Every structure is written in C-alpha cells, then in structure tokens.
Structure 1
C-alpha cells in the first residue's frame, strides 16, 4: 500500500493536482470578469440605461444586475 508521500509522487496525483490548479485559475478569471462587469452597473445606470439593457449589453444575468442596482440606489 502506498503512503501519502509516495501517492503524491504518482503521475495520476500530479495530473489531478495540475488539473485542479487550471480549473481554479479559470474559475477565478471568470469570477473576476463578472465582478468587473457588475462594478460598471451603477455608472451605466447613471447614464440612463435600464437593468434589462445593462444585462443584455454586458451579458449578465438580469437578477445579478437588479441586485447590484438595488444595493447602489440612494434610499
């Protein structure tokens, strides 16, 4: 039976570890792009665009845009 240190040296383990790192980087980039787009919502709304127009223009889910719009509106 393999111990932990031997297991970590196997090709299968190394490939799985690399795949996990790649997937994590991709997910992080996607989340960052979405976050960047959501940060633009208040500015675009100040230009007179509707929530629906913003969601369509930025390729975002309308509910995400609506939540950002509601949280940034003055009370």
Structure 2
C-alpha cells in the first residue's frame, strides 16, 4: 500500500526547500503553513519548485496559495 493510499499527502514548505509525505492530521499540528502539492502534475510540480517562494507568515502564505492555485489567473481577493 502506498503512502497516498494510506491517506498521506505530499507537502512543501512555503520556501520550497523541503517537501515530504505527511499525514494530514500531523500536518495540521506541526506544519500548518506547508502547501499540499500532491495533486500537481509533473510539469506543474517542476514549475512550483522552480518559481518564487511564498512570503513568510500564515496569512501571507494563504493569500499567495490562493493566487498560485487560482485557475482564473485573477489576483486573489
């Protein structure tokens, strides 16, 4: 059984210097600002890890994540 099948998700630190498989219940307590990149395709994952890192701080990260994953390409409100 794979980690994905066991409920784990692949998360990246906001600075994109580290990524790992983490169970969501652990992530909520230990890495609340990490970004779930599990469902990104290969090209999107490469683009994610080679583009500009997110700002520091939970509120700033949440806004930046909305911009990154916003399919309309309009700035998040």
TM-score w.r.t. structure 2 length?
Answer: 0.19
Instruction: Considering Cα pairs closer than 8 Å and 6+ residues apart, tell me whether 1 or 2 has the greater RCO.
Output: 2
Structure number having the greater helix percentage: 1
Pair member with larger Rg: 1
Structure number having the greater strand percentage: 2
